[in-house]
Amino acid sequence: MDKQYTDTWDTIIEPQKSLFHLNLQEVWKYRDLLIMFVKRDFVTYYKQTILGPLWFLIQPLFTTITYVFIFGNVAKISTDGLPQILFYMAGVTAWNYFADCFNKTSTVFRDNQGIFGKVYFPRLITPLGIVVSSLLKFGIQFMLFLGIMGYFMVTGADIQPNSTILLLPLLVMMMAGLALGAGMIITSLTTKYRDLVFLLTFAVQLLMYATPVIYPMSTIPSEYQIFIQANPMAGIIETFRYAFLGTGAFSWELLAYDFGFMVVLLAVGTLIFNKTERNFMDTV
């Protein structure tokens, strides 16, 4: 075939490549589709609801109030001297982003099998769209957190934001990477083992209790702290609190461990996802 014709093709069908061939260049080529998925996820969240986008604010606010009543006033769990609502709001804001990304990414193959079976596009676009759309939700809830923090600062609460705030983009990236990596592993496994879908909500709830969302790291006996710190989300939540509120356990070594854990988990998750998406329609 003449070269002048072969150069005009938009898509070239090639033989199946190795497991490590991720073709990220093709993902970038479909960035318009990524934006469309983000808009779809963001809009459908509050479509046909009375309060609309206000649910992005109501959910973390009601969750925080519940934690204040149960864990703060009934269980009397320490908040390291911080106002209870501010302490819990910090944990809820960060945790919600991770949990939202993880929950939605973990069911990508099941939720999108109708689209995957009809149209070709890089399947990695779908979990990436979830991470980005959840980031918009995180941004709204983060503004609520800043508003509450500003109120307490004006009223004289002992809150000491510091330069660690500059690590916020890194913390958000690490939460997204952990959720994306773990979610892609789970969704790949659920194409064969559907039981994981039923265990997912329970597992996320248990993981939250293993993360200092409703308690500070300082309340954990020193001999058990190593087990909590093994959870990569623990260091991220504590660093988030330390950066904005001045209270919490901040350690460069712990943050480096969390980052390394994220890189490995994201790499493994991407490889497993890349392998599964080639033939998952035969098993779902």
Domain boundaries, the chain: 21-282
Q: What is the pLDDT along the chain (284 residues), one digit of tens a residue?
A: 445 545 565 655 554 555 445 566 777 787 888 888 888 777 766 666 666 667 778 889 999 999 999 998 998 998 988 999 999 999 999 999 999 999 989 988 877 777 777 777 778 888 898 999 899 889 999 999 999 999 999 998 888 899 999 999 999 999 999 999 999 999 888 877 777 777 887 888 889 999 999 999 988 888 888 999 999 999 999 999 999 998 888 889 999 999 999 999 999 998 888 888 766 655 55
Asked if 149 contacts 245 with a C-beta cutoff of 8 angstroms, the reply is yes
Whole-number pLDDT of residue 26: 75
CA distance 217 to 250: 10
Whole-number pLDDT of residue 90: 94
For the CA atoms of 18, 108, 133, 171, the dihedral, rounded to the nearest 10 degrees, stands at -60
From first CA to last CA, the distance across the chain in angstroms is 40
Contacts of 114 (CB under 8 A, 6+ apart): none
Q: Which residues of 16-28 are buried (b: 16+ CB within 10 A; e: fewer)?
A: eeeeeebeeeebe
CA atoms within 13 A on the CB side of 201: 1
Whole-number pLDDT of residue 242: 94
Among 167, 171, 185, which residue's Cα sits nearest to residue 270? 185
Whole-number pLDDT of residue 280: 60
Whole-number pLDDT of residue 17: 52
Residue 278 in 3-state DSSP? coil
Whole-number pLDDT of residue 247: 86
Whole-number pLDDT of residue 165: 95
CA distance 72 to 60: 16
Asked if 177 contacts 265 with a C-beta cutoff of 8 angstroms, the reply is yes
Among 66, 249, 280, 266, which residue's Cα sits nearest to residue 184? 266
Contacts of 105 (CB under 8 A, 6+ apart): 127, 130, 131, 179, 180, 182, 183, 184, 186, 187
CA distance 55 to 103: 18
Whole-number pLDDT of residue 16: 53
Whole-number pLDDT of residue 10: 60
